[in-house]
Amino acid sequence: MIRKIIGSIILSIGLASGTYAQSTSALRINEVLTNNVSNYMDPFGNRGAWIEIYNNSAGTVQMAGCFITNDKNNPKKYMISKGDLRTQIGPRQVVLLWADSYPHHGTFHTNFSLDPDKENYIALYDASGKNLIDEVTVPVLEADQSFGAPQDGARDLKILPHPTPEASNFVINNNPKVDKFAEHDPNGIGMAVTAMSVVFLALILLYLVFRVIGKISVRLSTKRAMKAQGISGKIKDAREESEIPGAVLAAITMALNEHQGGDHDYEETVLTIHRVTRNYSPWSSKIYGLREVPQIKKR
Amino acid sequence: MENEFIQFLSGNIEEFLTYTGFANFEIGNLIMIICGIIFIYLAIAKEFEPMLLIPIGFGILIGNIPFKDAGLQLGIYEQGSVLNILYQGVTQGWYPPLIFLGIGAMTDFSALISNPKLMLIGAAAQFGIFGAYAIALAMGFEPNQAGAIGIIGGADGPTAIFLSSKLAPNLMGAIAISAYSYMALVPVIQPPIMRLLTTKKERLIRMKPPRVVSHTEKVIFPIAGLLLTCFLVPSGLPLLGMLFFGNLLKESGVTRRLAETARGPLIDVITILLGLTVGASTQASQFLTANSVKIFILGAISFIIATAAGVLFVKFFNLFLKKGNKINPLIGNSGVSAVPDSARISQVIGLEYDPTNYLLMHAMGPNVAGVIGSAVAAGILLGFLA
C-alpha cells in the first residue's frame, strides 16, 4: 500500500514537472534590439534595448519564475516576477522585456543591459534555473535594427531591418493552405481524391479490425456454448448440430406446453389481434422509436 | 406648464415609436419571418425533424424582430447580449461536440459491428461532400468556403456547424439552415434517386439477419474506433472523440447514469440552444444574400450526389460478393448520416417492393458509419483548409 502511495506521488510529481517544463519550453527569444536610437520607447520615456519573448504554442504559458540572463555563468541573473498577471503569454503572443538595468521600473525591466557595441549573449532558463529554454547570440547591430526570427518562433534568427516590438515578426493576411489549394487544385479533384482516400482508409481499417474481432468473438461464443452443452469436436460440426430449424423449435415448444398442461379446450386469456399501422419486424423493435413517414391523404 | 408636459409626453412616445419593430421593419425581415413560420409548420403539420425545425424556426422569428440599433445589447451579433453569449457555443464550436456525445450515448453500433463491411457504404456516401466542394469552387467560392459548404452533403447538422464555424464563419447561418432543411427533406429527396438507380430485382435482395454482438465487441468498438480514426485524422478529434466517448458510456454498462444524462437532458439542452441560436443568427441583413441562395442549391446537389454515391457503391460492391451475401442497394442511401431518417427511408422503400423484407437494421449500419465518415471528412477539410 505504502509503495503504491509513494509510486503515485512520484508519478504525480513527474507528470506535474513534465507538464510545467513542456509549457515553458514553448517560449522563444523571438526578437532583440540592442541599439535603440529612435525605436520603441518604454512607458518611462526611455529608449533601451529590448528582448521579445514569444509563446510558440497553442496554449497559454506562464513565464513567471523563469530566468533571463546575459551571462553564461549566471543563469539566474534576473527572475521574472511571480506576482504579475501579465507574465501569462497567450497562444502565439509576445511580451517585451526592457534590458535597461532598471529592475525597479517593474517586472519587464531586467537588472542588466545590453552593449550595442559588442555581441550579446541572451539566455532564457526555466524556473529551476537549470534547464535552458532558449539562447541567442546577438551580433553587433546598426541603430534601430533588430535580430529576430523571420517567422515567429523559428530558430534561424536574422537581422531584421524593420523591428516589430510587441508584435508578430511576420504579418499574415492570408491563409497559405487555402491559397495553395486555390492555385494547385482549382477544380477540387485533388481534394476529393485525397480526402476520399483517407475516409475510405479510416473505415477500411475499422472494417478489418472488426472483421477479425467479430470472427474471434463468434469462435469464442461457440466454444462457450459447446462447453455448456457438453459438445466436443470441431466448431463447424457443433454449429451444424446446434442449428435447429425454427419449425422444429416451435414443435418442441408446443409439445412442452402440452406436457405442462397447456392442452385444454378453454383458454384462460383471450388474445385479440390489433392491426399495427407500422410495419413490424420481429427482430427489430426500433421501428417503434421512429416517426411515421408523412403521407398525403387522398380523399 | 401643461403644454410642456404634453410636449414631454409626445416626445417620449415619438422616441418610443422609433424603438418599435414597426419603425425598423425591412422587407427582408418579413421574408425571414415567413421562412421561420414555414419551418414551424413543416415541423408540426408534417413532422419533418420537429426537434430541429421548431427551435430553428422560432429562432428565425427571434432573430428577425427588427429593433433600433441603440446599443441595448439585444441582437445576437451584439457582443455581450444574452443571445450573443448563447451563440458562443456555435461560433466557438463547442455545441456540436456535445451533441456528438449524446449521439454516441444513444447509438447502437451493433448492426455495424455484426456486418462491418457496411462501413464502406458510409465512406462512399461522403462523395457528396467533395462533389459539392468541386461545384462550389466552380461557382466561385474560396476553397475554405467550398469545404464548409460541401460538408452539407455529410447530412450531419452538428458537423456542418462545427466545420463552418472554423472555415467560413460568415456563411455558417446559411450552411446550418441548409443542412437541417435538407435533413428534414430526406424523405422527399432520397426515394426518387433510390428508385432511379436500382432495378426491381436488386430492391428485392434479402440480406442475412445480423448476428448477435457480444458485450465485449461493443466495448471494444468505441475504443478501437477512436484510436484508429483519430490517429489517422487528429483534426476530427472534437467530434469523433465525443462520439466514441458517449458510446463507451452507453456500452460499458457501468455508467448508466452518465449515458442517460448524455443522451437525455444534456443533448436536449444543447439541441434547444443550438437550434434557437442558429435560427436567430439568420438576421435578414446577414442572411439574405446571393451566397445563401447558392448555398441552398449546393446543399441540394450534395445530398443528391451523396445518396447516388451510396446506392451506386453498393451495386458496385455486390459485383464482388457471393450470391447469399449480396447487399440490398436500397440501404446505400443511408450512408449519408441523417440518423435514423435515411435508414428509415431504406426500410420504407424496401417494404414497398417486398412487405416482408425488413432493411432497417441493415441500413442502420451504413447510417452510423456515415456519422463516422462525415466526422472524418470534416477533420480532413479542417486539417487541409483551416
Report angle CA B260, B265, B269 to the nearest 5 degrees: 145
Full set of structural domains in chain A with CATH: 26-173 (2.60.40.1260), 175-261 (no CATH)
The cell numbers describing B316, all together, are 458496385
Residue of B94, B67, B73, B85 whose CA lies nearest to B239 = B94
- At residue A21, the pLDDT reads 41
In a domain, B16, yes or no: no
Min CA distance, B61 vs chain A (Å)? 25
For chain B, the domain total comes to 1
Instruction: Give yes or no for A221 touching B (CB within 8 A).
Output: yes
Q: Which residue of B has its CA nearest to A179?
A: B143
Other CB atoms within 10 A of residue B241 CB: 19
- At residue A236, the pLDDT reads 58
Instruction: Give yes or no for A189 touching B (CB within 8 A).
Output: yes
Residue listed under C-alpha cell 425571414: B32
**Average pLDDT for consecutive 10-residue bins of chain B (386 residues)?**
86 89 89 93 86 90 87 82 91 90 89 89 92 92 92 87 89 87 85 94 88 89 92 88 94 93 93 92 84 91 93 94 90 85 89 89 88 90 90
**pLDDT tens across the length of chain A (299 residues):** 556 665 555 555 544 444 444 478 889 999 999 999 888 888 898 889 999 999 988 888 899 999 999 999 999 999 998 888 888 998 889 999 999 999 999 889 999 999 999 999 999 999 888 899 999 999 999 888 999 998 888 888 889 888 889 888 876 667 778 888 888 888 889 999 999 999 999 999 989 998 999 889 888 888 887 788 777 766 555 555 555 566 677 777 777 777 777 666 666 666 666 555 555 454 545 555 555 666 666 65
- At residue A237, the pLDDT reads 57
Instruction: Give yes or no for B381 touching A (CB within 8 A).
Output: yes
Q: Residue B187 and residue A188: Cβ atoms within 8 Å?
A: no
Q: Residue B116 and residue A206: Cβ atoms within 8 Å?
A: yes
Other CB atoms within 10 A of residue B22 CB: 7
Interface-testing mutation among A191, A200, A297, with chain B (most B C-beta atoms within 10 A): A191
Of A195, A210, A213, the CB nearest to B130: A195
Residue of B24, B29, B25 whose CA lies nearest to B286 = B29
Residue A72 contacts residue A112 (beta carbons within 8 Å): no
Residue listed under C-alpha cell 444524462: B261
The cell numbers describing B19, all together, are 424603438
Q: Residue B143 and residue A210: Cβ atoms within 8 Å?
A: no
Residue of B90, B20, B29 whose CA lies nearest to B62 = B29
Q: Residue B384 and residue A202: Cβ atoms within 8 Å?
A: no
Min CA distance, A244 vs chain B (Å)? 16
B302 chain-A contacts, CB cut-off 8 A: none
Instruction: Give yes or no for B25 touching A (CB within 8 A).
Output: no
A284 chain-B contacts, CB cut-off 8 A: 358, 360-361
- Where on the phi/psi map is residue B338: left (φ > 0), alpha (ψ -120 to 50), or beta? left
Strand A146-148 with A88-89, pairing: unpaired
Of B113, B122, B142, the CB nearest to A210: B113
What is the arrangement of strands in the sheet containing A78-79, beginning at the earlier edge strand?
A78-79, A67-69, A120-125, A132-138
Local structure of A76: helix, strand or coil:
coil
Q: Residue B369 and residue A211: Cβ atoms within 8 Å?
A: no
Give me the residues of B, 219-238, that contact A with CB < 8 A: 220-221, 224-225, 228-229, 232-233
User: Bridge partners of A158?
Assistant: A148
CB proximity list for B269: less than 8 A, separation 6 or greater: none
Residues above pLDDT 70, as percent of chain B: 100
User: Bridge partners of A97?
Assistant: A51
- At residue A172, the pLDDT reads 64
Q: Residue B131 and residue A214: Cβ atoms within 8 Å?
A: no
Min CA distance, B216 vs chain A (Å)? 8
User: Bridge partners of A61?
Assistant: A89
Instruction: Give yes or no for A279 touching B (CB within 8 A).
Output: yes
Local structure of A89: helix, strand or coil:
strand
In a domain, B232, yes or no: yes
Q: Residue A202 and residue B216: Cβ atoms within 8 Å?
A: no
In a domain, B263, yes or no: yes
Residue listed under C-alpha cell 464555424: B165
Of B127, B138, B355, the CB nearest to A187: B138
Instruction: Give yes or no for A213 touching B (CB within 8 A).
Output: yes
In a domain, B150, yes or no: yes
B380 chain-A contacts, CB cut-off 8 A: 194-195, 198-199
Residue of A177, A197, A195 whose CA lies nearest to B133 = A195
Local structure of A43: helix, strand or coil:
coil
Name the residue range of residue B278's domain.
89-385
Instruction: Give yes or no for B131 touching A (CB within 8 A).
Output: yes
- Where on the phi/psi map is residue A188: left (φ > 0), alpha (ψ -120 to 50), or beta? left
The DSSP symbol for A260 reads I
Q: Residue B214 and residue A182: Cβ atoms within 8 Å?
A: no
A281 chain-B contacts, CB cut-off 8 A: 358, 360-361
In a domain, B8, yes or no: no
In a domain, B129, yes or no: yes
In this prediction the ipTM stands at 0.85
In a domain, B356, yes or no: yes
User: Phi first, then psi: what are they for A132, rounded to 5°?
Assistant: -75, 130
A190 chain-B contacts, CB cut-off 8 A: none
Q: Residue B347 and residue A204: Cβ atoms within 8 Å?
A: no
| E strand segments, chain A | 27-33, 49-55, 61-62, 67-69, 78-79, 88-89, 94-99, 120-125, 132-138, 146-148, 158-160
In a domain, B228, yes or no: yes
**3-state SS of chain B?**
CHHHHHHHHHHHHHHHHHHCCCCCCCHHHHHHHHHHHHHHHHHHHCCCCHHHHHHHHHHHHHHCCCCCCCCCCCCCCCCCCHHHHHHHHHHCCCHHHHHHHHHHHHCCCHHHHHCHHHHHHHHHCCHHHHHHHHHHHHCCCCHHHHHHHHHHHHCCHHHHHHHHHHHCHHHHHHHHHHHHHHHHCHHHHHHHHHHHHCCHHHHCCCCCCCCCCCHHHHHHHHHHHHHHHHHHCHHHHHHHHHHHHHHHHHHHCCCHHHHHHHHHHHHHHHHHHHHHHHHHCCCHHHHCCHHHHHHHHHHHHHHHHHHHHHHHHHHHHHCCCCHHHCCCHHHHHHHCCCCCHHHHHHHHHHHHHCCCCCCHHHHHHHHHHHHHHHHHHHHHHHHHHC
| Residue B92 to residues B38, B148, B167, Cα–Cα distance (Å) | 29, 15, 12
Instruction: Give yes or no for A201 touching B (CB within 8 A).
Output: yes
